[in-house]
Structure 1
Amino acid sequence: MTRPILNAIHHVAIICSDYTHSKQFYTQLLGLSVIAENYRRERDSWKLDLALPNGNQLELFSFPNPPARPSQPEAQGLRHLAFVVDDVAAFTTYLTQNGVAVEPIRIDEFTGKAFTFFQDPDGLPLELYQR
């Protein structure tokens, strides 16, 4: 039997502690578009589908009392979520001007591309990576 092919990542799912704050962070600050927003009454949970310009998606979930991430960024599981940007320095300035702490920009020793890290409202490590 021929091995089937994985074509792309469809979405990344994120569970937040403060839905309103995280929704504002990802839509207003980072500029992701809302595809759909649904309240799931049986789970007391919001599900927000967000789109990046290339068609990739993030799903933002809220749940009552989700456990905190054990540690970062070296805990087992998702290490970080990286976004491709045209200008890491410009995006870093934008984030800093909007009160987001951003690590110093570094250069990837293997690709020569600029990158840096910052965190979402729940401390999820996010990366900006030069196109």
Structure 2
Amino acid sequence: MRTVSMRLEDLTEEVLWRIIELYDKTVGGHGLRHFNSGTLEYAKEMLTNRSSVEWRYGSRLSGHSKLWIQLNHRTCLSEPAIYFSFGANVDESPGIRKKVEKLESRFSRVVSDFLKEKGLAISE
């Protein structure tokens, strides 16, 4: 499950920090421990050259869970747009699947709400 999209050019250090903070609070990761002044530049470079970037910040479910940012190629905008998602990276037994879906949904909702609140969300 992914969030609403935003323009890549609107991704600032403050916005990225807040999204990582929401990731940590929502899924139980540890992204803010690794955030530094080069994080935004790295993200933009990877998004420009590879169309995605991911950090394995962990979660309540696994130390391998990740925050994933991808280019959204399905918008009518001429400039690049991005969206965020939570990748659990766990074996999905029936009991775990429900937990994954709950965390994916919760992360998508809180980040989408944040982007809308800040006026950064774009329609596709």
TM range (shorter): 0.3 to 0.5
Which one has more relative contact order, counting CA pairs under 8 Å at least 6 apart?
A: 2
TM-score, with structure 1 as normaliser: 0.33
TM-score, with structure 2 as normaliser: 0.34
